[in-house]
């Protein structure tokens, strides 16, 4: 599939010929499919493929040749399709006669839309070719044809959708029929012909004139191009002799630019959407983790995320959407998807402590006390949620249990329905207290204590939070530690407070949070990097020795890049550099096999048995926290940490890093309102202010 995307809310999925023709392709805006059919034929048959690909994240090109149909000789015509996706979509089709003879033929374009909401389309993707298990997709909508204006206007006839429109305008006159326009062409030798197709979506029933649309596209192309150039100039510039690092970072920078979306009440706010194609929206957990991973590129994404997620923070108790006061949103939807699902859904227990961690980390990189003061209210509400609604039974641990009939059964980052399993394969019953969430809460309380003491000037609050964090760490170790298999922490506690004893990658998040006491570190690292969890490409989500292990499952044996990036950072926190470097080396080695664009998830099959990592069939690409993974791994390699007290960047990296890293120069890192230059030469990291 070829994709072009922009701003997180508008994107196009097509096949490698540029056609939109199957159940999961289309042009999408505001979680609605505004075009579900765009198919090109020559003399009634599809052209033959030559080559295709994305040009930039907002544009793609498709190169074709004519089929042997209607008397056309082989390779007589070349056909180029140039597609641009912004707020609207524009395609230019160019046909050239490559022969010494005149050629006559028919070029036709089938068009249509079903106005399906994105959740329905996603179900057809997840069922992997078995749409009988998914809700049926709507039929193609009826249209009004204005041949004089060379346009089609499709309208949604569904109840409550009267304002939903798709306007399709052609630049050339042709023969206009329902769902098809055809052009009878005669091309002289070496002659060319082109047609432009403008596709304009609307939820408000708006229909624009062709002149206004043409001017809008011209302005928008310039705006999008300028925005990409500005982003690439603003982020730090990397020069690395290790190609896998250089190319992975280059791809990440482009993917993060593509995933930026407008959010909240400010048109200027840009924050990362979760992933292409089905999660091009605000996801609390994914958005926050991506911002934590990418602070090395600057604080702008994190500033926007903190602002927008603060605006969306729940203020009322609403069981229909699993909302409670102070809770950070899980998922936001627009348009028809919002009417079918929810405009906002709050079924996650980790986004709230992660929000506090992000607020603290931005402050540590910027010393922006004004930001921390301005967000004190959402921070205090988040702390109150952790203390009250988040702790369902008052035992000091944060648990989840869905209240919404349409909500998620599991509400930690491993949120698939079968992810919480005992080592014998039994499913755990909710309420469940996930292990990594207790680590996040521990870290969040210590960080908020620091903010309370330094910025909010509330010493009593700081001391209380520090006491609570220490007590949580003590009780967590008692309740979650399992002695068997060499010792490790349980995946969670079930409704009976029994440890869910499968061995999972979540233990790496505990190292990242700092909740692990020193005497447990060796055992935990041995489990994390032992052959049961370590696939050779990365840390698996579940141990191969557990009954529910499946290397092709979503959360029970697969490898997630973002998961590994947090594990590596956690290992560095405890000084375990050899293991952290092993994760980085193998993960960026895996990136090479995905054209340096790490997917959301890939198979946990052993590296010894596969010459390359095996793709997961419905994995999102690009996906925000997968795109953030190389950036955080670069920070990990360099050992970079902000020193708030001295207002400098420091490195905790050892003096003899391995030779395979080569030389690295990272110029223009933002910290404390200044720019920094970081070099890795001869295995040593050096930092200078520019």
SS (H, E, C) 465-484: HHHHHHHHHHHHHHHHEECH
The count of structural domains within the chain is: 2
Band (pLDDT 50/70/90 cuts) for residue 139 is confident
Tokens matching residue 502 = 């499968």
Q: Are residues 153 and 299 in the same domain?
A: no
Q: Are residues 262 and 380 in the same domain?
A: yes
> Which CATH number do you get for residue 152?
2.70.98.40
Q: Are residues 186 and 262 in the same domain?
A: no
Residue 578 CB neighbours (<10 A): 12
Residue 68 CB neighbours (<10 A): 13
Least confident segment among 163-177, 252-266, 403-417: 252-266
d(CA 27, CA 166): 10
Q: Are residues 505 and 551 in the same domain?
A: yes
According to the model, what pLDDT value does residue 208 have? 67
Q: Point out the domain boundary residue: 191, 224, 257.
A: 224
Residue 120 C-beta-side C-alpha neighbours within 13 Å: 21
Report which of residues 522 and 212 the model is more confident about.
522
Extended strands (E) in 26-88: 26-29, 32-35, 37-42, 48-56, 59-65, 77-85
Helices (H), 109-159: 118-126
Per residue in 592-629, pLDDT tens? 999 999 999 999 999 999 999 998 877 778 899 999 99
Question: Does residue 680 belong to any structural domain of this protein?
Answer: yes
Handedness of CA 657, 658, 659, 662 (dihedral sign): negative
According to the model, what pLDDT value does residue 265 have? 60
Question: Does residue 229 belong to any structural domain of this protein?
Answer: no
Nearest one of 451, 457, 510, 450 to 480, comparing CA atoms: 510
Assign 232 to helix, strand or coil: helix
Least confident segment among 268-282, 290-304, 445-459: 268-282
Q: Are residues 329 and 203 in the same domain?
A: no
Per residue in 9-25, pLDDT tens? 789 999 999 999 988 89
Question: Does residue 230 belong to any structural domain of this protein?
Answer: no
d(CA 127, CA 369): 48
Taking each helix axis as running N to C, give the angle between helix 435-451 and helix 506-513, from 0 to 180 degrees, rounded to the nearest 10.
20
The residues that bridge with 279 in the sheet, in sequence order, are: 275
- In this predicted structure, the answer to whether residue 117 has a pLDDT above a threshold of 60 is yes
Q: Is 496 exposed, middle or buried (0-12, 13-18, 19+ CB in 10 A)?
A: exposed
Q: Are residues 149 and 282 in the same domain?
A: no
d(CA 128, CA 116): 18
Band (pLDDT 50/70/90 cuts) for residue 128 is very low
Biggest CA-to-CA distance, the chain: 88
- In this predicted structure, the answer to whether residue 7 has a pLDDT above a threshold of 60 is no
Contact between residue 594 and residue 546 where contact means Cβ atoms under 8 Å apart: no
d(CA 64, CA 110): 17
Per residue in 474-485, pLDDT tens? 999 999 999 999
Question: Does residue 554 belong to any structural domain of this protein?
Answer: yes
Structural domain boundaries enclosing 666? 235-689
Q: Point out the domain boundary residue: 224, 258, 292.
A: 224
Work out the angle at residue 516's Cα, subtended by the Cα atoms of residues 512 and 519, and round it to the nearest 5 degrees. 135
Band (pLDDT 50/70/90 cuts) for residue 229 is confident
According to the model, what pLDDT value does residue 454 have? 97
- What's this model's pTM, rounded to 2 decimal places? 0.92
Q: Are residues 208 and 336 in the same domain?
A: no
Phi-psi region of 272 (alpha: psi -120 to 50; beta: other; left: phi over 0): beta
Task: Give the CA dihedral 637, 260, 234, 672, nearest 10 degrees.
Answer: -70
Q: Are residues 401 and 447 in the same domain?
A: yes
Nearest one of 618, 633, 617, 655 to 563, comparing CA atoms: 633
Nearest one of 262, 233, 231, 196 to 29, comparing CA atoms: 262
Q: What is the chain's mean pLDDT, rounded?
A: 92
d(CA 312, CA 458): 26
Band (pLDDT 50/70/90 cuts) for residue 275 is confident
Question: Does residue 495 belong to any structural domain of this protein?
Answer: yes
Per-residue pLDDT, averaged over 174-188, amounts to 95
Assign 169 to helix, strand or coil: strand
Q: Are residues 68 and 19 in the same domain?
A: yes
Tokens matching residue 525 = 């690292």
Handedness of CA 631, 637, 643, 646 (dihedral sign): negative
Q: Which residue has the tokens 């369902």?
A: 392
d(CA 86, CA 223): 10
Q: Are residues 243 and 144 in the same domain?
A: no
- In this predicted structure, the answer to whether residue 646 has a pLDDT above a threshold of 90 is yes
Residue 315 C-beta-side C-alpha neighbours within 13 Å: 6
Report which of residues 169 and 146 the model is more confident about.
169
- In this predicted structure, the answer to whether residue 487 has a pLDDT above a threshold of 60 is yes
> Quick one: what percent of the chain has pLDDT higher than 90?
78
Q: What is the CA radius of gyration of the chain?
A: 27
Contact between residue 420 and residue 485 where contact means Cβ atoms under 8 Å apart: no
Q: Are residues 117 and 251 in the same domain?
A: no
Nearest one of 467, 302, 324, 286 to 375, comparing CA atoms: 302
Tokens matching residue 428 = 């755990």
Question: Does residue 142 belong to any structural domain of this protein?
Answer: yes
> Which CATH number do you get for residue 624?
1.50.10.10
Question: Does residue 177 belong to any structural domain of this protein?
Answer: yes
Per-residue pLDDT, averaged over 621-642, amounts to 95
Q: Point out the domain boundary residue: 224, 255, 282.
A: 224
Contact between residue 312 and residue 321 where contact means Cβ atoms under 8 Å apart: no
Nearest one of 4, 607, 48 to 276, comparing CA atoms: 4
Q: Are residues 504 and 626 in the same domain?
A: yes
- Secondary structure letter of residue 297 according to DSSP: G
Q: Which residues of 458-473 are buried (b: 16+ CB within 10 A; e: fewer)?
A: beebbeebbebbeebb
Give the Å distances, CA to CA, from 310 to 125, 341, 351, 517: 32, 22, 12, 33
Contact between residue 225 and residue 237 where contact means Cβ atoms under 8 Å apart: no
Question: Does residue 350 belong to any structural domain of this protein?
Answer: yes
């Amino acid at each position: 599939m070829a994709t072009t995307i922009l701003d997180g809310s508008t994107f196009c999925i097509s096949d490698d010929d540029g056609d939109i023709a199957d159940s999961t392709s289309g042009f999408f805006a505001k979680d609605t499919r505004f075009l579900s059919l765009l198919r090109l034929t020559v003399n009634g048959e599809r052209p033959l493929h030559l080559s295709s690909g994305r040009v930039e994240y907002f544009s793609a090109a498709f190169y074709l040749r004519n089929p042997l149909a209607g008397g056309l000789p082989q390779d007589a015509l070349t056909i180029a399709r140039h597609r641009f996706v912004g707020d609207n979509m524009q395609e230019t089709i160019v046909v050239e006669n490559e022969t010494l003879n005149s050629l006559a033929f028919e070029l036709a374009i089938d068009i249509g839309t079903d106005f399906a909401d994105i959740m329905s389309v996603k179900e057809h993707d997840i069922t992997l070719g078995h749409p009988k298990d998914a809700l049926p997709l709507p039929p193609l909508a009826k249209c009004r044809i204005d041949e004089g204006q060379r346009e089609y206007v499709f309208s949604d006839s569904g109840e409550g959708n009267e304002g939903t429109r798709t306007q399709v305008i052609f630049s050339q006159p042709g023969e206009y029929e329902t769902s098809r326009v055809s052009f009878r062409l005669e091309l002289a030798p070496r002659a060319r012909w082109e047609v432009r197709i403008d596709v304009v979506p609307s939820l408000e029933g708006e229909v624009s004139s062709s002149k206004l649309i043409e001017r809008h596209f011209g302005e928008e192309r310039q705006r999008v191009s300028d925005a990409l150039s500005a982003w690439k100039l603003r982020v730090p510039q990397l020069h690395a002799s290790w190609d896998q690092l250089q190319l992975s970072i280059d791809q990440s920078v482009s993917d993060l630019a593509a995933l930026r979306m407008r959010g909240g009440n400010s048109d200027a706010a840009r924050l990362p959407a979760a992933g292409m194609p089905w999660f091009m929206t605000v996801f609390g957990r994914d958005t926050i983790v991506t911002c934590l991973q990418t602070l090395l590129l600057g604080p702008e994404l994190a500033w926007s995320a903190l602002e927008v997620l603060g605006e969306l923070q729940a203020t009322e108790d609403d069981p229909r959407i699993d909302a409670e006061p102070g809770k950070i949103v899980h998922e936001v939807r627009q348009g028809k998807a919002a009417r079918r699902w929810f405009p906002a859904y709050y079924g996650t227990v980790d986004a709230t402590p992660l929000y506090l961690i992000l607020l603290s980390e931005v402050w540590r990189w910027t010393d922006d006390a004004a930001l921390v003061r301005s967000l004190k209210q959402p921070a205090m509400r988040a702390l109150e949620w952790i203390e009250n609604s988040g702790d369902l039974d008052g035992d000091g641990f944060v648990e989840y249990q869905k209240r919404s009939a349409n909500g998620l059964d599991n509400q930690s980052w491993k949120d698939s329905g079968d992810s919480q399993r005992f080592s014998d394969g039994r499913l755990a019953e909710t309420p469940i207290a996930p292990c990594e969430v207790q680590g996040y809460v521990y870290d969040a309380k210590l960080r908020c204590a620091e903010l309370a003491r330094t910025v909010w000037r509330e010493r009593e609050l700081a001391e209380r939070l520090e006491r609570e964090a220490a007590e949580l760490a003590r009780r967590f170790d008692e309740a979650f530690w399992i002695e068997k298999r060499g010792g490790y922490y349980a995946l969670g506690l079930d409704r009976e407070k029994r440890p869910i004893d499968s061995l999972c990658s979540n233990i790496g998040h505990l190292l990242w949070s700092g909740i692990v006491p020193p005497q447990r570190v060796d055992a935990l690292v041995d489990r994390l990097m032992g052959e049961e969890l370590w696939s050779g490409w990365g840390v698996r989500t579940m141990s191969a020795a557990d009954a529910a292990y499946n290397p092709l499952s979503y959360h029970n044996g697969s490898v997630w890049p973002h998961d590994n990036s947090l594990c590596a950072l956690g290992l560095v926190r405890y000084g375990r550099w050899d293991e952290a470097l092993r994760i980085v080396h193998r993960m960026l080695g895996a990136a090479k096999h995905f054209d340096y664009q790490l997917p959301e998830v890939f198979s946990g099959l052993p590296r010894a048995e596969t010459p390359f990592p095996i793709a997961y069939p419905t994995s999102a690409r690009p996906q925000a926290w997968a795109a953030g993974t190389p950036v955080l791994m670069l920070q990990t390699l360099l050992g970079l940490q902000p020193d708030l007290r001295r207002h400098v960047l420091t490195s905790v990296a050892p003096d003899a890093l391995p030779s395979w890293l080569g030389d690295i120069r990272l110029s223009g890192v933002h910290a404390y309102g200044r720019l920094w230059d970081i070099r890795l030469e001869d295995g040593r990291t050096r930092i200078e202010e520019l």
